């Protein structure tokens, strides 16, 4: 796997609040927060090492292809999808297809369009079609998606006499479920699966990444503070030891007891739950320049019915 510092240098630099900076120019264009978190956390989990390796290779040799991203809810699939789009199709649109719960005809219209209205397929031409929950697509929608990926053509519903439009679309499909099992059980077309699974990435749950919790909490906490326009920075007790007097003055300390409390939690909601907990701890329960175990426990407490 490529060294973390190599990836960081190729992406210039990304600060703790998810912004890309260029030496000598200050803050430039916004970067994907997911890439910022990924580099900053530098996870040692094998699955995350594979993702870092894929990103490094795509930085060296970008090419248009399809991706299948799997993992529990809240593990960051949507953010990773946006980061991958930036790497392989940054000049084109990113169009989301989210038809879970739609009647089949409405889902087909959302993909292919209807009459004078273009669908997600046409809107994603020369870009990326982001497919939310692949296993929620009905057989007819799967068939239409396969036809798009196989032939590169799409025709709007109700326009059967029209010549199908030629499109250049790559797809990123997301799923919370067991995709391979769905193929075996016949709930997902095997030919569609193989069209989408050119590069398959699995995002591990947060409970399997205890060493990533503290840096992720700090990174998310600083994003929350920035969004709330709080002119302070969250840092760990270890970071404070090497901080300057000015940095100490502007710091909120995430105490060791708080980190222990975070690591002890099982995080069924993964990073989404962690972000919620940090928002509560920093903006609702914090009463000083420190966040300790008490604030974390309060942030994690479930309200009684």
Look at the chain and count its residues: 305
- Whether residue 84 is predicted with pLDDT greater than 70 in this model: the reply is yes
Residue 201 DSSP one-character state: E
| Residue 82 pLDDT > 70 | yes
- The model's confidence at residue 304, banded by pLDDT at 50, 70 and 90, is low
Taking residues 45-57, report their average pLDDT.
88
The per-residue pLDDT for 220 is: 92
- Kindly report, residue by residue over 17-34, the tens digit of the pLDDT: 333 333 322 222 333 555
pLDDT digits (tens, 9 = 90+) for 199-240: 999 999 999 999 889 999 999 999 999 999 999 999 999 999
Banded model confidence at residue 1, pLDDT cuts 50, 70, 90: very low
Query: Looking at residue 217, what is its pLDDT?
Result: 94
Record the tokens describing residue 95, joined without a space: 């169009």
Using an 8 Å Cβ cutoff, are 262 and 206 in contact?
A: no
| pLDDT at residue number 152 | 93
* Distance between CA atoms of residues 197 and 138, nearest Å: 19
Question: For residues 96 and 130, is the Cβ–Cβ distance under 8 A?
Answer: yes
Which residues have a Cβ under 8 Å from the Cβ of 206 and sit 6 or more positions away?
74, 75, 212, 213, 216, 267, 270, 271, 274
For the cut 80, the answer to whether the pLDDT of residue 6 exceeds it is: no
Q: Which residues contact 133 (CB under 8 A, 6 or more apart)?
A: 98, 100, 174, 175, 176, 177
Q: Are residues 141 and 108 in contact, defined by beta-carbon separation less than 8 angstroms?
A: yes
pLDDT, tens digit, 9 for 90 and up, residues 160-185: 666 778 999 999 999 999 999 999 99
Cα–Cα distance, 213 to 271 (Å, whole number): 9
Residue 280 per-residue DSSP state = I
**Strand locations in the chain, DSSP E?**
13-14, 19-22, 26-30, 67-70, 94-97, 113-114, 117-118, 127-131, 153-154, 165-166, 169-175, 199-202, 233-236, 251-254, 290-291
* Relative orientation angle of helices 210-227 and 270-279, to the nearest 10 degrees: 50
Residue with tokens 């994003």: 223
For the stretch 270-284, pLDDT in tens is: 999 999 999 999 999
The predicted-structure confidence for 54-79, as pLDDT tens digits, reads as follows 988 988 888 999 999 999 999 989 98
Whole-number average pLDDT of the chain: 85
Distance of alpha carbon 124 from alpha carbon 106, whole angstroms: 18
């Amino acid at each position: 796997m490529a060294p973390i510092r190599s990836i960081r240098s190729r992406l210039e630099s990304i600060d703790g609040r998810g912004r890309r900076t260029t030496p000598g120019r200050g803050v430039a264009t916004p970067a994907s927060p997911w890439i910022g978190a990924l580099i900053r956390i530098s996870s040692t989990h094998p699955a995350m090492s594979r993702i870092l390796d894929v990103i490094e290779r795509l930085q060296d040799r970008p090419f248009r292809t399809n991706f299948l991203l799997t993992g529990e809810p809240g593990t960051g699939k949507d953010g990773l999808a946006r980061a991958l789009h930036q790497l392989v199709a940054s000049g084109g649109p990113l169009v989301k297809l989210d038809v879970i719960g739609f009647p089949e005809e409405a889902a087909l219209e959302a993909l292919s369009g209807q009459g004078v209205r273009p669908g997600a397929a046409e809107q994603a031409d020369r870009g990326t079609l982001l497919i939310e929950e692949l296993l929620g697509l009905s057989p007819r929608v799967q068939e239409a998606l396969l036809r798009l990926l196989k032939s590169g053509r799409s025709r709007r519903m109700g326009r059967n006499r029209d010549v199908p439009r030629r499109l250049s679309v790559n797809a990123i499909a997301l799923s919370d479920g067991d995709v391979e099992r769905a193929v075996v059980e016949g709930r997902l077309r095997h030919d569609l699966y193989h069209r989408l699974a050119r590069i398959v990435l699995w995002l591990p749950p947060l409970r399997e990444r205890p060493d990533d919790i503290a840096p992720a909490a700090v990174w998310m906490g600083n994003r929350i503070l920035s969004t709330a326009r709080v002119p302070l920075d969250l840092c760990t007790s270890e970071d404070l030891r090497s901080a300057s007097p000015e940095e100490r003055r502007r710091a909120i300390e995430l105490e060791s007891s708080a980190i222990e409390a975070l690591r002890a939690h099982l995080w069924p909601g993964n990073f989404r739950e962690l972000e919620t907990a940090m928002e509560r701890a920093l903006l609702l329960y914090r009463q000083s320049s420190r966040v300790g175990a008490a604030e974390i426990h309060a942030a994690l407490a479930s309200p009684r019915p």
